[in-house]
A and B are shown apart, each in its own frame.
Chain A
């Protein structure tokens, strides 16, 4: 791999991790959705770059899925959901930004300390990509724990998935990358249906029960 090709791949990998950190301090739902969409777009670029430099055509499919589904379709759907369900736009945090960021730094350090010695025989790019990917994949659940909000949990899961796809793209000759990203996409789609139902329920809670019975009446007819 030439110097420039390596630098670009490296830059894209690092950008994915940086955007994970950007997710950790978002206080507004829509901003968080935009950041994860950006992360997916960068991931798509990283996958496409790998496809070009390694001459691996199937990675273009992964890139296309990341771009169309995760960077465009799902964020639009989430924005629509927020408007449609009148979800409040600020996020209730289980713990503060400083602590969350601190934990994020700790998790990243841990991933680097774990992955770099482990993969001593591999290429430098793969080793760093894997370390970044593991950090991203662990920051995702951290976000899901730190914020009490169903939409943010979907965002955290998507970010976690971005990390895993980044790792899969970086590993040379890894089979089933496309299948894995499709499987994840289906899962995210189902998650979003979950949010939909989840919030319908919260709306029911705030209304009187007659509304619920009315709904059942509809279903039975």
Chain B
């Protein structure tokens, strides 16, 4: 219990503190320090005694690894952010006042995600996801350009409606539980619900799940509710794009999965799988086709996030030990690799002074460090061996072939189409004669700030080559938990 309070308390306290720090250089380093403390505390969760289920907070095999992953990516993003904003201040795109706001919101956002992940109470989870929506929407509009404000507005409206529908679903879930568990907090506590889910009214469970899937699914970025995602990723500061893609989408998917587990515990309720398979396939196909027409480099990778969330949702929809294993691994790998790509893209757009793909050419020639980091990242996210994304995608495809060969056809087509688009763009971005751009003389600082990129990619590479046995056992245990 103590450790959990530290994990949640440090970002909350840091958010308050950073709201009063006027020096942005100091704030950037405090941001890194607070994130490091949170990360270390999240690691001690693995050895600490777990609280008894039934309270407000919960630690189980499923969320503990997502909490650690979230804290890790939050830390590396904080490191990247420190170098990123130095450049933005120099280019006068951000002012110290805005940065004070930015740092406080960054920690508040991390807090809300960790809260959503560790909540046992479904109402608390909802409030936390809502807080995450608010804090990110405010950060998306940070540059105050017309398109940034429009992106934030769109994000607000769509996710606001989504969040409201999720609340209605949560209420229906309470209504289903109330005859069995009685009035009050017990009927909204996930672990209590899971134990008794078999006795709930299946019709209510079904409708509740549809509302929750649409509501939280909007935040996952599943088609057809994905319209906010590319704008929000493209117009905000790049560190925010990294945490949006790498973390927030996972948190929303986690919420959907918690409810899916409740439905799976009731034999008479509708099987949630086909719904998730449908939305997953739709997102995958739509996003991989859209990848061809992107002109903005951040928008390109935002669509790739929709694609990968579609793959993960598809895997969880298939269910069973193997597909769930693949889905969990895919969420992890996507977080690591996509965050690394956004770090690189952030440097690229700063070095070139543009986000337009047409104006960025021959990066490996003009900026070898950045260029090759981007090549490695895109190769990893496109699902080429030996990176971990290949392993998880291979597992999804092979388990689908074994059980539902017909479903594997659109899956493989979607994967290949997306692969083609990314390779096409990568060739343009990384190779050939370099496009003219401002000369950069900050290789030393760059080398330092690329450490998070290489760290993430190295982890994805290790996972692709060799998954340690305890980790495999761990993932398998969680996959069984997911049913």
Contacts and interface: CB of A to CB of B under 8 A. Distances in A.
Interface of A: 114, 117-119, 121-122, 130, 133-134, 137, 140-141, 144, 150, 153, 157, 160-161, 164, 167-168, 171-176, 179-180, 183-184, 186-187, 190-191, 194, 197-198, 201, 204-205, 216, 219-220
Interface stretch (B121-129, B247-255, B408-416, B474-482): B121-129
B255 to A, nearest CB: 15
Interface string B95-122: 1011000000000000000000000010
A119 B205 CA distance: 11
Nearest to B157: A153
A175 B185 contact: yes
Interface string B397-424: 0000000000000000000000000000
A57 to B, nearest CB: 14
A130 B174 CA distance: 13
B138 interface: yes
B127 A175 contact: no
Contact of B164 (A114, A118, A160, A176): A160
Interface in B186-201: 187-188, 201
A15 B123 CA distance: 28
A118 B126 CA distance: 23
B144 interface: yes
24 contacts: A119-B204, A121-B201, A140-B161, A150-B153, A160-B161, A160-B164, A168-B171, A171-B174, A173-B183, A173-B187, A175-B174, A175-B185, A176-B121, A183-B131, A187-B163, A190-B134, A194-B141, A194-B152, A194-B156, A197-B144, A198-B149, A201-B149, A219-B97, A219-B98
Nearest to A215: B144
B171 A174 contact: yes
B178 interface: yes
Given A114-B207, A175-B123, A191 B171 contact: no
Contacts, number: 108
B279 interface: no
B161 A198 contact: no
B378 interface: no
B175 A122 contact: yes
Contacts of A220: 92, 95
Nearest to A188: B160
A186 B133 CA distance: 12
